[in-house]
Amino acid sequence: MSTKGDRLWGGGYEEATHPLVQRMNASVSYDQRMAREDIIGSVAHATMLRDQGIMSADDHAAILSGLRAILADISAGTFEWSEAREDVHMNIEASLRDRIGAPAGRLHTARSRNDQVALDERLWLRRRLLGIATRMVELIEALSAQAWEHRSWAMCGYTHLQRAQPVTVGHHLLAHVEAFERDLDRVLSLLRRMDVCPLGAGALAGTTLPIDRARTAELLGFSKVARNSLDAVSDRDHLLDTLMAAATGMTHISRIGEELVLFASAEFGYIRLPDAFTTGSSLMPQKKNPDMAELIRGKSGRVAGSLVSLLMTLKGLPLAYNKDMQEDKEPLFDAVDTWEDCLVLLRDMLPAAKWQKKNLSDALDKGFLLATDLADVLVRNGVPFRDSHEHIAVLVNTLVKEGTTFRRAGAKRIAETLKVPHEDVADALNIGRALRKRDVVGAPHPARVGREAKAVGRRAAGYRKTLTALAAPCPAETMLG
């Protein structure tokens, strides 16, 4: 390993590097988190080299023994990382040479750090995305359980943050389930798209040695090999896809965070957050602030920023590998960590929150939420909808000026004003009946909400089976013991 000219690799240098070069060039401080994946990739590569007769069985055995020892040290926190060795790949390779000597020099045969890092990122991302998908399923299950429990609890539905029409708490929670199931579908689709092994592409043009890329892919649990060596080492679409999925997923999380902040306020009073997810004020002793809900709302911007950062890094790069690509890891790592943490926080916070039934009920009457139902009464009595709409708008305006509501005005007075049967108005102003009349697919009829909550639970069980199958260790990983 050459260090001539204060450089780890290369030759012909006559000047020492600038003092900042080592620090700027090194990535080991953050890419060391891919150490397990780097070792798994090396196990697969060495095994393929042995199978092809490019490496002896003795050298292969020595390399695997050394890699197992290195992994054990890393897991125990006793491995010594060196910035002078630049990155996770060189730290592990140099440590292997220190431990087993000359056989370590055969490991990098027919391999470049360019295809090595492309592989490590895929392996790391595959593991983390499976973890995130599992957290999503857990959150979906938590939401569906709450939806079942509150399937008939009436609450205000909103448009423009104005009270609009009645729904149920369960229906509201299932709306968020829809968004998270789309997020889960994006992750599963991404896992399918990135199921391609780049190892064997070399620096950019493959190798003259008779390697077996299909064997390497098999050992690493990939179903395909990259078809073009230039693309294999420069492709970061799966990272962009991950960050786009993360930004979208965090937007969905942020919307729930916003609702929790609103609904837990005294102005709404719909929900009471558990003490475990609130903080106090340094000055005002009465305060319980919804800081965790605010943070999951705020962190969505951070994740969106990571997406923009990587897009700007990649947008002007020619084929194939460029050092700029080292900048792909920090935004990826941060976004994935943030995304998973927020999913776990939300998963644990939502079931512990307590919905306030009386406050939900009181708000229903104040917002004239059954105005459309009254308009439908006029329609059923032969009045065109546009005229019905105008009649009800005038009625609501009158009641607002009087400072009263539908319930306090009473069905009799309203029926006389609208010149329709009293029993029709009484029926229309009954929240429970109003919800049960909404008996079409996707509507908040409590029975439909209950059935959908159960269906979500069944779908979640199917997702778990899929994820369990995808999470099975690859052959190279099992060789590590």
- The structure tokens 């370590």 sit at 104
Closest CA to 109 of 239, 10, 199, 18: 199
| Confidence (pTM) | 0.92
**41-45, 168-172, 219-223, 399-403: range with lowest mean pLDDT:** 399-403
Q: What is the pLDDT of residue 1?
A: 38
Closest CA to 188 of 262, 126, 110, 261: 126
224 pLDDT tier (thresholds 50, 70, 90): very high
Pairwise CA distance, residues 90 & 82, whole Å: 9
8 pLDDT tier (thresholds 50, 70, 90): low
**129-133, 350-354, 364-368, 460-464: range with lowest mean pLDDT:** 364-368
pLDDT tens digits, residue range 228-254? Answer: 999 999 999 999 999 999 999 999 999
Task: Please determine, for residue 21, whether its predicted confidence score (pLDDT) is greater than 90.
Answer: no
Q: What is the mean pLDDT of the chain?
A: 94
Distances (CA, A) of 443 to 8, 56, 184, 379: 65, 67, 23, 20
- Comma-separated ranges of CATH 1.10.275.10 domains in the chain: 18-106
Distances (CA, A) of 360 to 164, 168, 271, 275, 412: 14, 10, 9, 21, 25
**3-7, 140-144, 184-188, 350-354: range with lowest mean pLDDT:** 3-7
Mean pLDDT confidence for 130-159: 97
7 pLDDT tier (thresholds 50, 70, 90): low
Task: Please determine, for residue 9, whether its predicted confidence score (pLDDT) is greater than 60.
Answer: no
Q: What is the pLDDT of residue 3?
A: 42
Amino acid at position 33, single letter: R
Q: What is the pLDDT of residue 14?
A: 74
Q: What is the pLDDT of residue 288?
A: 87
For the chain, what is the radius of gyration of the CA atoms?
A: 30
pLDDT tens digits, residue range 62-83? Answer: 999 999 999 999 999 999 999 9
Give the containing element (helix H, strand E) for 434.
Answer: helix 431-437
pLDDT tens digits, residue range 95-128? Answer: 999 999 999 999 999 999 999 999 999 999 999 9
Question: Do 479 and 218 touch, CB atoms closer than 8 A?
Answer: no
**CA angle in degrees (0–180, nearest 5) for 301-304-309:** 120
Q: For 113-362+455-474, CATH number?
A: 1.20.200.10
Q: What is the pLDDT of residue 5?
A: 39
Q: What is the pLDDT of residue 33?
A: 97
Task: Please determine, for residue 55, whether its predicted confidence score (pLDDT) is greater than 70.
Answer: yes
Closest CA to 449 of 439, 459, 458: 439
Pairwise CA distance, residues 430 & 452, whole Å: 24
Question: Do 63 and 96 touch, CB atoms closer than 8 A?
Answer: yes
Which long-range contacts link 170-175 to residues 24+ away (Cβ below 8 Å)?
Answer: 170/146, 170/444, 170/446, 170/449, 170/450, 170/453, 171/147, 171/443, 171/444, 171/449, 173/143, 173/144, 173/146, 173/147, 174/143, 174/144, 174/147, 174/449, 174/452, 174/453, 174/456
Residue tagged active-site, from 89, 144, 281, 388: 281
Mean pLDDT confidence for 396-402: 93
**57-61, 261-265, 364-368: range with lowest mean pLDDT:** 364-368
Specify the pairing of strand 196-197 against strand 224-225. parallel
- Comma-separated ranges of CATH 1.10.40 domains in the chain: 371-428
Q: Is 160 a catalytic residue?
A: yes
End-to-end CA distance of the chain: 30
Pairwise CA distance, residues 252 & 180, whole Å: 7
The DSSP code sequence of 33-52 is: GGHHHHHHHHHHHHHHHHHT
**pLDDT exceeding 70 applies to what percent of the chain?**
98
Specify the pairing of strand 196-197 against strand 162-168. unpaired
Q: For 18-106, CATH number?
A: 1.10.275.10
Pairwise CA distance, residues 198 & 331, whole Å: 22
Mean pLDDT confidence for 292-311: 96
> What is the CATH architecture of 371-428?
Orthogonal Bundle (1.10)
Task: Give backbone dihedrals phi and psi of 113, rounded to 5 degrees, phi first.
Answer: -65, -20
Write the CB contacts of 292 (distance below 8 Å, at least 6 apart in sequence).
277, 278, 345, 349
Task: Give backbone dihedrals phi and psi of 158, rounded to 5 degrees, phi first.
Answer: -125, 145
Give the containing element (helix H, strand E) for 167.
Answer: strand 162-168
Closest CA to 340 of 238, 213, 187, 216: 187
- Comma-separated ranges of CATH 1.20.200.10 domains in the chain: 113-362+455-474
Residue tagged active-site, from 82, 152, 160, 189: 160
Q: What is the pLDDT of residue 11?
A: 62
